[in-house]
Amino acid sequence: MKRPTRVAVFASGSGSNFQALTDAVAEGRIPAAQLVLLVTDKPQAAVVDRAERAGVPVFAFRPRDYASREAYEAEIVARLTELEVDLIVLAGYMRLVTSTLLTPFAGRIVNIHPSLLPSFPGVDGVRQAIEYGVKVTGVTVHFVDAGLDTGPVLLQRAVEVLDDDTEETLAARIHAVEHELYPEAIRLLSEGRVELDGRKVRLRK
């Protein structure tokens, strides 16, 4: 019997997407995945409490304690390797990753972004959509490469922008979609149903 896909989640904040993934695993909606580590650059972040309640081990570090980004990423890679991690899930991790992490886990790192990429990459995707005046925005799950939100798209779902939307009301609806779409993406990945071919992502039945 194939062992579960071993997943490490990287997060920096409240951890609502981490919680959505934890709940999905616990409820059997991602039967082929196991959460084996939370990595955070904010030891006091609320996501740490969520991980502890869920029984997920935590590696919390302070970037200022390291000489460089590559230095702390090298330690992260060592821990991931020790735990035989198959997949890295960025869930509100607010640091760009370097080749130190990207190279050994190429094609095995995914991120979620609050827009329909390539529209509105980077920070404040919701605010960008409101300010631009688009009628539709959404959520994108994508593979991570060396660019800023430029990796191949795995899943997307649209969210209508209402005339009276504020950044807060639109963000709330986007977050609700994120909490559905990310577990679905991790389910597909953990079941081996995702084929990455350059920029093309194909889903097998």
**Which residues are tagged catalytic?**
113
Contacts of 18-22 with C-beta under 8 Å, sequence gap 24+, read 18/47, 18/50, 18/51, 18/91, 18/92, 19/50, 20/178, 20/179, 20/180, 20/182, 20/183, 21/89, 21/91, 21/182, 21/183, 21/186, 22/50, 22/51, 22/54, 22/56
